[in-house]
Amino acid sequence: MNTLHIIPKRSLLKMFILLPVTLGGYLLYWYYKTRQDINSLGGKIPSFWWALIPGIHAYFIYQYVKFFQKIIHQNDLLAVNIVLILFMACFPMIFPFYIQYHLNKYSINK
């Protein structure tokens, strides 16, 4: 991990409460912020606006998963990326908890 970048620790309980209360709006904010976190560690996830464009959002998702996997798990295996993308597609409200759990390991607020 590059120690020059600070990854904030986010509460999984807070996420659990905010997702339904905001009708999923928090999820967009969360993707925006975690995209910045992953990019600060060396990822190259494209602009968040790509996530809002139907069709093009698939490229954003692929890049998000690819760099999360590469930065956090230190590998870039296509098979693992495909499994994570399928997990994200099938369980869109659970996947953020998986990502945040691993990002919290890089937090300075341990």
Query: Who wins on pLDDT, 18 or 87?
Result: 18
pTM exceeds 0.85 for this model:
no
Q: Find the DSSP H helices in 22-56.
A: 25-40
Q: pLDDT tens, 32-71? A: 999 999 898 888 999 999 989 998 888 998 899 888 888 7
Q: How far apart are CA 104 and CA 67, in angstroms?
A: 16
Q: How far apart are CA 40 and CA 71, in angstroms?
A: 10
Q: pLDDT tens, 92-109? A: 778 889 889 988 887 766
Domain boundaries, the chain: 28-104
Locate 92 and state its tokens.
């869109």
For the chain, what percent of residues have pLDDT higher than 90?
32
Tokens 């995209």, residue located? 35
